[in-house]
Amino acid sequence: MKITIINGPNLNLLGKREPAIYGGQPFEAYLDKLTALFPEVEFTYFQSNVEGELVNAIQKHGFSVDGIVLNPAAYTHTSVAIGDAIAAITSPVVEVHISNVRGREEFRKLSYVSGVVDGSITGLGLSGYELAVRWLLDRNK
């Protein structure tokens, strides 16, 4: 079972700034926990602050892995290109947001991603990634 986790811009700052919204640990530390929790899963992790690199990663993994867990971060609200890339691939995609985007500023309520993914998890902190992996595992049974 292969799962790719893709994080968008500024998520490389997790654990360094804004812990009240995004929590206090770097994503790499959380990924170690996920890897221990799901030994049957071969994880690939990619983070970029660059929109085109995220599109490339979605295309690169999106025809071969059993699932993609994607947090496009701010590009969620702006990127037609990421929405189009998700619509073009064959692997299932779960959109994850650490914060509750629907309870924040108005501009965060628009998503170019929600309509083309299999499902979305928002506002449950980093646990959203674990829940997304569980769903992908269940789907593959």
- Of 6, 11, 57, 136, the one binding ligand CA2 by CB under 6 A: 11
When binding is defined by CB under 6 A, the residue of 22, 27, 30, 112 that contacts ligand CA2 is: 22
Q: How many CB atoms lie within 10 A of CB 69?
A: 26
Q: Strand, coil or helix: what is 95?
A: strand
Residue 11: CB atoms within 10 A of its CB come to: 19
Among 3, 5, 14, 82, binds ligand CA2 (CB under 6 A): 14
* Catalytic, out of 30, 61, 75, 97: 97
Q: Are 41 and 137 in contact (CB under 8 A)?
A: yes
Catalytic residue among 22, 30, 75, 129: 22
Please report how close the Cβ of residue 141 comes to ligand CA2 at its closest, in angstroms. 28
Residue 22 a catalytic site member: yes
Of 1, 31, 41, 74, the one binding ligand CA2 (CB under 6 A) is 74
**How many angstroms separate the CA atoms of 22 and 91, rounded?**
27
Residue 93, interface with ligand CA2 (CB under 6 A)? no
What is the per-residue burial (b if ≥16 Cβ within 10 Å, else e) of 76-108?
Answer: bbebeebbebbeebebbbbbbbbbebeeeeeeb
Stretch that binds ligand CA2, among 5-13, 29-37, 83-91, 132-140 (CB under 6 A): 5-13
Cβ contact 33:129 at 8 Å? no
28 binds ligand CA2 (CB under 6 A): no
Whether 97 is a known active-site residue: answer yes
Rule CB under 6 A: which residues touch ligand CA2? 10-11, 13-14, 17-18, 22, 71, 73-74, 76, 97-99, 101, 108
